[in-house]
Every structure is written in structure tokens, then in C-alpha cells.
């Protein structure tokens, strides 16, 4: 057949479809006029490219449709609207030469006569198509209820194969595929594929839309609820600060450097805070908790200094002596530099007051470039001071550890536990037990404060503790710390500390310049020797401060240009000499022996006196002695009685005579095991009437069989012996291993004799 043709742009018409379209191209208008003059038949074929103005045969699809023109309406601007009904598929064979309009030779495509499908197959196809079309209609929402009913009513396969694609809102390319499928089975497959594809697309699209809608709905709901809450608060006369604060907290939470666990907890608490009235007490509690969590340095730290030389320089600059402490800090630094992290040690500095334990911690912090936090534990009795209070209590707050971390602003400060030996305990709990977890490097990476309720990592904190004595520190706590003993200073060490540090510090403190006050070395030594008697240098610093104050008054009030302190005028500034060192006795005497003892302020010498007098065999001890010293005296007399026959003592001597042991300074409590051999020597001397050397001092515990047991505080005791100008010191053989650690300055001039048995002591002591 030959007939006029119209090339359609972006549109495909299928058999049985009534459609209208607008045409404006000259060739298309001429083709419609030609069709109307004849049998109103026109061939409609779709362009492959919608932009093509003058399509050729290669620009058109091969299959088109023969349609009957039903109506022609002329519109404005030379546009004509055509209403057509598709009748049958046709294939383009060739163009016929026409200049005015497109004329084609076509071949109408008939149904294949050999394609005979059984009624069951046709029925199955119809039901399948109807079912999937209804599924598509449900998923897209674009198909009217009327159309769905009509599809349900059609039971002829060929009709439904044409009806469904006509009502599908799909692209012209998809409809062209249906048009090009001539056979029923082929058309069924194309249409079914198209329906299933569209159902999948709609499902995905609906899923996206549902998710977006849920998100928008939630945001919208939250916004509406907040606005309602805001209005309710305004009506109640409450301010709107809670919501604003909650927004600020949320903003800070987003910026906070912390783990997901911390942020999740914060967001939960902020949500609670937002919904609580600002006038309620609960609001204050939650606000305080949120602020605490936000202020804690969860993942914030300082970079440690790796310069060992600079660290050594700082330690040497600030402290004279203390070699063990400095050595340990340098070892820690070296390990930290090699491992890039290294476990922070837990150091406990033990020593008398005023020996620089607290100040060295500050110097260590400077040497390591760490933040410094000091926590004084003296008199702390409440466990909550360490672990914090539960949030449920009124006035609850974090423990001192967490407060210290918060104060430092970083998670790796140097934290000083001052006076750890002064911890108390009562019905509120034992704070030393709470410190067990803090001071355990294996456990403290998950420290839980009762208030914070989240694990806080303390493994990077460098803990340094100070104590005057190890005796009062609980054993489990002591076991977790590395003990470094900071012993008493010698007079020479005190001299260097005063000259290099204290004098300059006191001048500055009292507004003086070095050229205004001169203080010679001899004067400084005189101050140390005659005006102070301590292990540390606190009292010495006070004396130097006293001199500076008097000098400041002379310079300001009496207009003196400078003041010179000499041995002769020192009394004017400090008064009479306060201390005269315990010197050795001038003569050897019977029943008087010099012992050595350790006190919290250093070593001292004790003169033990024994008198024997006629009586009933009584044994008297005076001088405010503790239980240990009384037991030592009892052990000593038992030993002497066991060996008395060797010295020709009458067996009935102990029944007919009283023995009285006295240690002067009766008001001062004395206790400890180190006077055993001293008391035994004095008693034997008094019993047998033999003199004891006045230049010998001794220390050691005695057993019933006369063995000499080791003691502690050897350095302080030797220093006391040296100050008392003793020449010979008997020490237990077990303490011989401690001698290499004692400086040569102390040992110089002392004849130190290690003894194992009382017989060796007697041999050395008696004249």
C-alpha cells in the first residue's frame, strides 16, 4: 500500500489507541490534507531523533501504524490538532518521490496464522498480564480506578496486549518495542518485561520517597513539638534558656574529641535536659553532669619533651643531690622515647619533711613538658573524695582524680599525691582502697568515677606520691608504687642548697638585691649548724627569710645602703644559738653508751644510761619508751644473764640488785628496734663495772642469743654519729650492703664496723 505519512516526534501510537497530537511542519500538514481527500488513512511512524526536522528513511523506525484520521482542528499560530485511531501495524518498504509531503510504501503486518496458542495458555497470559498491571497500578498510583476495572473486564489476549500499553505512562521508546512485537507471544514477552521493569523502578522510587518522607516528617514533628513546648513555657512564664543551652551543648558535643560511647551518653543526657523544666532541681543536676563531661579532656593530650639533656639540666638547676630520683626520671624519659609511649611509672618519694619531695615533682613536670596537678591527701577520710559521689546525691561532684584531670585540661598530666601516708579512714569508707585502682598501671586505663560513670583512661598520667614514712601506708597500696627514698641532707648539702637556691629565693621574696645584703659561706654554715636541727631545709629557709626581713627594715627605715652579715653580728639577726649538737662525752664512763635512732626529721643520737643499785631484782625502764624498746631491753638482760658467768658475776646478783635503764628527754616518745645492742652494752657495763668508749656509737636489734639484726635509716643514723663527732660506729652485718649507697662525705672520718654478734660489740665498746 502507498499512503501519505507523518513522522511523529517523541510519541508512538499503538493499534486500538485513540490519540491526538499537534502538527506544524509543512510536510505533515500536506500529508494530512492528502489523507482527508482520499480515505482518511495515514501512516504514522516515529522518528528516532526528535530534533530532526526533515527525517529520511534511515531516521525513522522501521515499524509504524496505519491510522484513521477522525478529526482535524486548526489552532492558532498555524498549528493543527489531529485526532487519530490506530488500526494496524505496518512496515516501511520505501519512500515514494514526493516533494510536498512524505509518501511511503508500506506492508501491513498480519498475525502469523501458524501461531495458534491454546485457550489455557491464552488464559494464563491474560491473568498474568492483569495481575502485573494491577501491581504496577498500585505501585505507581498513576492509573485510574476506572482503567483498572476495564483491564479486569478484558479477557481477550490480543485486546489486552493492545489495551495495557496504551494506558501505560512510559516513554515512546518503550511503546515502540511493543509496536515492533508482531506475534502474540513476542508481544506478551515484551509487555511483561516492561511491566516488571516498571514495577521494580516504582518499588525503588517509593522506598526512597518513604525514607525521605520519614526523615522530613521526624524533623517536622520535632520542630512542631519544640515550638509547642516553647509556647507552653511562655504561657507558664518560664524562660526559653533550656532549649538554647541544649543546642549549645549539642554543638559542643559534635566538636568534642571523644569516643562514640562518650558522645552517645552526652546526646542522651542532652535529650533529657531538653525535656526537663528549667526550674526543677533535676535540670541543675543534668546540666552539671553534661558540663563536667564536656570539660573533661577525653582525647586531648600534650606532647612530652624528648630532650634528655634539657630535662637533666632542669633537674640539676632546681635540686642539689637527689641523684636516685633524677636517675629514675631520666630512665623513664629514655624508655618513653624508645617505645613512643611506655607505661607511666607510679613513683613514691619517701623521706623527712623539707627534703624537696613536692618541689621535685614540679621540676619533673617542667622537664617532661607536662601539666602539673597537685592533690593533697592529708586527712582525706571519705572514699567519695577519690571516686566521686553518685549523681543521685545532692551536691554530687566528681572525685579529686577527675577534678585534677579537668583542671589540667589534658589526659596526660603529672599528678602529685601529696602526703599519701596521712590518708585516714572512717565509716564513710577507706580512701586508700579507692586509690588501689588509680595507682595500678594494669587497671587504671578503665578507671570509673561514681559521678562520671564512664571509663576514664588514666594510663598516660604520670603519678608521683610523697610520704614521710612508709609505716602508715597500707601494704597493698605500697605494693603498687615504686619507692624512692629521699634521705636527710648533710650539712654540706644544706650549705649548697642554701647558697644556690634558698638565699636567692629569699632575697627576691623580700624585695632585696644581691648587692644590698652580703652573707659569707662561714656565716651560712653557722646558721645551718647552730640555728637548725632538721633533715630538710624548711627551717633553714625560714631563718634566711628572718635575716632578709631584718635587713630589709634596716635598708628601708634606717636608709642603709647595704648590710653585711658576719659571724659576730649573726646573733643580732637570729638571736642566741638555738641548738648545740650532741657531742661525744669527754670521758669514758661505766653504764653510759651512745645509741643511734631515726626520727621523722632525721637521725639523732640517744645517750642510754644504766644504774645498778641494791634492791630486790627489779628491772626499771624510764624515758617514755615504746613496747618495742621495752622488749629489746628484756631480750638484752636475758642475754646478759645467760653469759654473766663468763664475766664472773655472782649468780645471786640479779636477785639482790635493781637495774634501772633511762634514756634522757623523757617527754619525747621513743620506739623502735635499733637500740637493742646499745641497751645490752650499757647494762653489761654497769653490771661488771667496765667503762665504755665515749667515741663509739652503735645501732642494731638484739636477740636472746646475742645475734645482731639489721635496721633501717642507716644514712640518717651515720649522719647523726658524724655530727656528734663519733669515731667508731657499730652497725649490723646485714646493713653492710647499704654502705655503698651512702655518700663518701658522710662516711669520711667514721670507722664503720659491721657486727654479727653481741660479743663483737662488747669487744669494740669496752675500754
Instruction: Give the residue numbers marked as catalytic.
Output: 674, 717
The Cα-based distances of 679 to 118, 546, 606, 697 in angstroms read 129, 41, 11, 12
Question: Rounded CA gap, 585 and 696, in Å?
Answer: 10
**Which residues neighbour 567 within 8 Å (Cβ) at sequence distance 6 or greater?**
522, 523, 526
Question: Rounded CA gap, 385 and 378, in Å?
Answer: 12
For residues 713-741, b (16+ Cβ closer than 10 Å) or e, as one string? bbbbbbbbbbbbebebbbbbbebeebeee
Question: Rounded CA gap, 142 and 167, in Å?
Answer: 10
DSSP state of 644: G
Which H/E stretch holds residue 526? helix 521-531
Q: Is 622 left (phi over 0), alpha (psi -120 to 50) or beta?
A: beta
> Taken in order 481, 435, 711, 715, is the CA torsion positive or negative?
positive
Which H/E stretch holds residue 102? strand 102-108
Cell numbers for 88: 494496524
**Which residues neighbour 196 within 8 Å (Cβ) at sequence distance 6 or greater?**
132
Question: Rounded CA gap, 604 and 684, in Å?
Answer: 23
CB neighbour class for 663 (10 Å; exposed up to 12, middle 13-18, buried from 19): buried
Beta-strand runs (E) in 546-683: 563-565, 589-590, 592-599, 602-614, 619-622, 657-662
For residues 470-481, b (16+ Cβ closer than 10 Å) or e, as one string? eeebbeebbebb
Residue 290 · residue 258 · CB < 8 Å:
no
Cell numbers for 696: 663509739
Q: State the maximum Cα–Cα separation within the chain, in Å, rounded to a whole number.
A: 168
Question: Rounded CA gap, 510 and 710, in Å?
Answer: 47
Question: Rounded CA gap, 683 and 609, in Å?
Answer: 8
Amino acid at each position: 500500500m502507498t499512503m501519505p505519512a507523518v513522522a511523529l516526534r517523541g510519541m508512538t501510537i499503538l493499534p486500538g489507541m485513540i490519540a491526538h497530537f499537534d502538527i506544524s511542519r509543512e510536510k505533515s500538514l500536506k500529508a494530512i490534507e492528502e489523507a482527508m481527500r482520499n480515505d482518511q488513512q495515514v501512516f504514522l511512524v516515529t522518528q528516532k531523533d526528535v530534533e530532526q526536522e526533515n527525517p529520511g528513511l534511515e531516521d525513522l523506525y522501521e515499524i509504524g501504524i496505519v491510522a484513521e484520521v477522525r478529526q482535524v482542528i486548526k489552532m492558532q499560530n498555524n498549528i493543527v490538532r489531529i485526532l487519530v485511531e490506530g488500526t494496524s501495524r505496518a512496515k516501511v518498504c520505501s519512500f515514494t518521490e514526493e516533494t510536498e509531503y512524505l509518501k511511503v510504501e508500506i506492508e501491513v503486518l498480519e498475525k502469523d496464522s501458524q501461531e495458534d496458542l491454546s485457550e489455557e495458555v491464552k488464559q494464563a497470559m491474560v491473568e498474568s498480564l492483569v495481575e502485573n498491571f494491577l501491581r504496577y497500578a498500585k505501585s505507581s498510583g498513576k492509573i485510574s480506578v476506572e482503567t483498572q476495572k476495564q483491564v479486569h473486564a478484558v479477557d481477550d489476549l490480543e485486546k489486552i496486549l493492545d489495551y495495557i500499553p496504551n494506558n501505560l505512562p512510559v516513554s515512546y521508546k518503550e511503546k515502540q518495542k511493543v509496536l515492533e512485537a508482531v506475534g502474540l507471544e513476542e508481544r506478551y514477552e515484551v509487555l511483561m518485561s516492561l511491566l516488571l521493569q516498571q514495577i521494580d523502578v516504582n518499588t525503588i522510587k517509593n522506598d526512597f520517597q518513604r525514607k525521605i518522607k520519614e526523615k522530613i516528617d521526624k524533623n517536622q514533628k520535632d520542630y512542631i513539638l519544640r515550638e509547642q513546648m516553647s509556647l507552653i513555657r511562655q504561657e507558664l512564664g518560664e524562660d526559653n534558656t533550656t532549649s538554647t543551652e541544649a543546642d549549645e551543648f549539642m554543638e559542643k558535643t559534635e566538636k568534642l574529641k571523644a569516643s562514640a560511647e562518650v558522645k552517645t551518653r552526652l546526646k542522651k543526657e542532652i535529650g533529657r535536659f531538653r525535656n526537663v523544666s528549667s526550674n526543677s532541681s533535676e535540670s541543675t543536676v543534668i546540666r552539671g553532669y553534661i558540663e563536667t563531661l564536656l570539660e573533661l579532656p577525653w582525647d586531648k593530650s600534650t606532647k612530652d619533651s624528648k630532650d634528655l639533656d634539657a630535662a637533666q639540666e632542669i633537674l640539676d638547676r632546681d635540686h642539689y643531690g637527689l641523684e636516685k630520683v633524677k636517675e629514675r626520671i631520666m630512665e623513664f624519659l629514655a624508655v618513653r622515647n624508645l617505645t613512643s609511649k611506655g607505661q607511666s611509672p607510679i613513683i613514691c618519694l619517701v623521706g623527712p619533711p623539707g627534703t624537696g619531695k613536692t618541689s621535685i615533682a614540679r621540676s619533673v613536670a617542667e622537664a617532661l613538658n607536662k601539666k602539673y596537678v597537685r592533690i593533697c591527701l592529708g586527712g582525706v577520710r571519705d572514699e567519695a573524695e577519690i571516686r566521686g559521689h553518685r549523681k543521685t546525691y545532692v551536691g554530687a561532684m566528681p572525685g579529686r582524680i577527675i577534678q585534677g584531670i579537668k583542671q589540667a585540661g589534658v589526659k596526660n598530666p603529672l599528678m602529685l599525691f601529696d602526703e599519701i601516708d596521712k590518708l585516714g579512714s572512717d565509716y564513710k569508707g577507706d580512701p586508700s582502697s579507692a586509690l588501689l585502682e588509680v595507682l595500678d598501671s594494669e587497671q587504671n586505663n578503665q578507671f570509673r568515677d561514681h559521678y562520671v560513670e564512664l571509663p576514664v583512661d588514666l594510663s598516660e598520667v604520670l603519678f608521683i606520691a610523697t610520704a614521710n614514712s612508709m609505716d602508715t601506708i597500707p601494704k597493698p597500696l605500697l605494693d603498687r608504687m615504686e619507692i624512692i627514698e629521699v634521705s636527710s641532707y648533710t650539712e654540706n648539702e644544706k650549705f649548697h642548697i642554701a647558697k644556690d637556691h634558698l638565699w636567692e629565693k629569699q632575697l627576691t621574696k623580700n624585695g632585696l638585691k644581691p648587692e644590698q645584703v652580703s652573707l659569707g659561706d662561714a656565716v651560712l654554715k653557722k646558721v645551718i649548724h647552730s640555728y637548725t636541727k632538721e633533715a630538710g631545709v624548711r627551717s633553714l629557709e625560714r631563718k634566711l627569710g628572718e635575716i632578709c626581713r631584718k635587713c630589709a627594715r634596716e635598708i628601708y627605715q634606717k636608709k642603709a645602703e647595704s648590710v653585711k652579715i658576719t659571724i659576730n653580728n649573726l646573733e643580732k639577726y637570729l638571736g642566741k644559738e638555738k641548738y648545740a649538737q650532741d657531742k661525744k662525752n669527754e670521758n669514758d664512763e661505766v653504764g653510759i653508751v651512745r645509741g643511734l635512732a631515726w626520727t621523722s626529721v632525721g637521725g639523732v643520737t640517744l645517750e642510754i644510761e644504766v644504774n645498778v643499785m641494791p634492791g630486790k631484782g627489779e628491772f626499771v625502764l624510764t624515758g617514755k619508751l615504746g613496747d618495742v624498746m621495752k622488749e629489746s631491753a628484756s631480750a638484752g638482760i636475758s642475754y646478759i644473764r645467760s653469759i654473766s658467768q663468763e664475766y664472773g658475776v655472782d649468780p645471786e646478783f640479779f636477785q639482790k640488785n635493781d637495774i634501772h635503764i633511762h634514756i634522757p628527754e623523757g617527754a619525747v616518745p621513743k620506739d623502735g628496734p635499733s637500740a637493742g645492742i646499745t641497751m645490752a652494752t650499757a647494762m653489761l657495763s654497769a653490771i661488771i663495772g667496765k667503762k665504755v668508749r665515749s667515741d663509739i656509737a652503735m645501732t642494731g636489734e638484739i636477740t636472746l642469743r646475742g645475734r645482731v639484726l639489721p635496721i633501717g635509716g642507716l644514712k640518717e643514723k651515720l649522719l647523726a654519729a658524724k655530727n656528734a663527732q663519733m669515731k667508731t660506729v657499730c652497725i649490723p652485718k646485714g646493713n653492710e650492703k647499704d654502705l655503698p649507697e651512702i655518700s663518701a662525705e658522710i662516711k669520711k672520718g667514721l670507722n664503720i664496723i659491721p657486727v654479727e654478734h653481741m660479743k663483737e660489740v662488747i669487744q669494740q665498746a669496752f675500754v
